[in-house]
């Protein structure tokens, strides 16, 4: 957990959750036995293919296969089914379900492919203020995306020359980095600027933080 975050001494030890989204899955999650696994609709089919145990299946069930749904119903899987006409995406509902389990770190796998609007929507989901107390990472074929919020930091244990991009969502102020080739020192990154990309790791770990606004940090390195 970043040093800037206040830690509640009454909070139990942090566990991690994995959310399996539908669409294209280009990364392979490797959950520990204690890891909470939530599947968003057809993300359950990915779990079946990888023989991953799922705790909760969430969504309107419009894209999951019949085999997948039958399998979930025959196992000890908590199924949260929603109507097709709803105000939240299946991924959003899956994140909410994972957060409700008490975890503080959530790794999203899948969600690639499909329309450009869908991809941008997943990226922006990382910035939702409801996840301010969570560490949310999206694992994709191009790297890992994570939001740097005020009062917290994103730390990347990469290797020298790994590409790192900083993408402000709105105006971001007080942006500071360490371990990157082109350092930022209490700078302002205005919405729409490309000054934060690309950069590269000079000396790991690379750390990105800010005092106001949100920056999406994308690390294009070998994923653990």
Does 10 share its domain with 86?
yes
Q: Looking at residue 163, which CATH number applies to its domain?
A: 2.60.120.320
Structure confidence by residue, pLDDT tens digits, 179-190: 999 999 999 999
- Mark whether 194 and 115 lie in a shared domain: no
pLDDT for res 224: 60
Q: Is the pLDDT of residue 199 over 50?
A: yes
Q: Which of 117, 141, 165 is the last residue of a domain?
A: 141
Rounded to an integer, what distance in angstroms lies between the CA atom of residue 182 and that of residue 194? 13
For the residues of 71-118, what is the DSSP string, one character each?
Answer: HHHHTT-EEEE--SS-SS-HHHHHHHHHHHTT-SEEEEE--BSS-HHH
Residue 11 has pLDDT above 50, yes or no: no
Average pLDDT on 81-87 reads 91
State which of 141, 163, 182 marks the end of a domain: 141
* pLDDT-wise least confident of 1-10, 33-42, 121-130: 1-10
% the chain with pLDDT above 70: 93
**Residue numbers of the domain that contains 96:** 1-141
14-46 pLDDT, tens digit each: 489 999 999 999 999 989 989 999 999 999 999
- φ, ψ of residue 95 in degrees (nearest 5): -65, -40
If one counts the domains in the chain, the total is 2
Q: Do 16 and 35 sit in the same domain of this protein? A: yes
Based on the fold, state whether residues 33 and 120 are members of the same structural domain: yes
Q: Where among 79, 109, 141 does a domain terminate? A: 141
Give Cα 151 to chain centroid, integer Å: 18
My answer on whether 18 and 98 are in the same domain is: yes
pLDDT at 8: 36
- Give me the residues paired with residue 164 across strands: 199, 219
């Amino acid at each position: 957990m970043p040093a800037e975050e206040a830690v509640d001494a009454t909070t139990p030890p942090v566990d991690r959750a994995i959310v399996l989204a539908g669409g294209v899955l280009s990364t392979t999650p490797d959950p520990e036995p204690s890891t909470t696994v939530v599947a968003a609709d057809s993300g359950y089919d990915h779990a079946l293919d990888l023989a991953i145990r799922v705790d909760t299946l969430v969504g309107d069930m419009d894209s999951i296969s019949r085999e997948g749904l039958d399998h979930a119903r025959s196992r000890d899987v908590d199924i949260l089914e929603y109507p097709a006409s709803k105000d939240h995406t299946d991924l959003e509902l899956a994140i909410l379900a994972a957060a409700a389990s008490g975890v503080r770190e959530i790794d999203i796998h899948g969600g690639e492919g499909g329309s450009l609007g869908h991809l941008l929507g997943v990226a922006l989901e990382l910035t939702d203020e409801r996840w301010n107390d969570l560490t949310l990472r999206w694992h994709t074929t191009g790297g890992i995306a994570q939001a740097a919020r005020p009062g917290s930091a994103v730390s990347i244990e990469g290797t020298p020359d790994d590409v790192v991009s900083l993408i402000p969502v709105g105006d971001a102020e007080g942006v500071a980095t360490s371990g990157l080739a082109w350092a930022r020192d209490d700078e302002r990154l205005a919405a729409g600027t490309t000054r934060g990309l690309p950069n590269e790791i000079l000396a790991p770990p690379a750390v990105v933080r800010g005092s106001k606004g949100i920056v999406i940090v994308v690390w294009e390195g070998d994923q653990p």
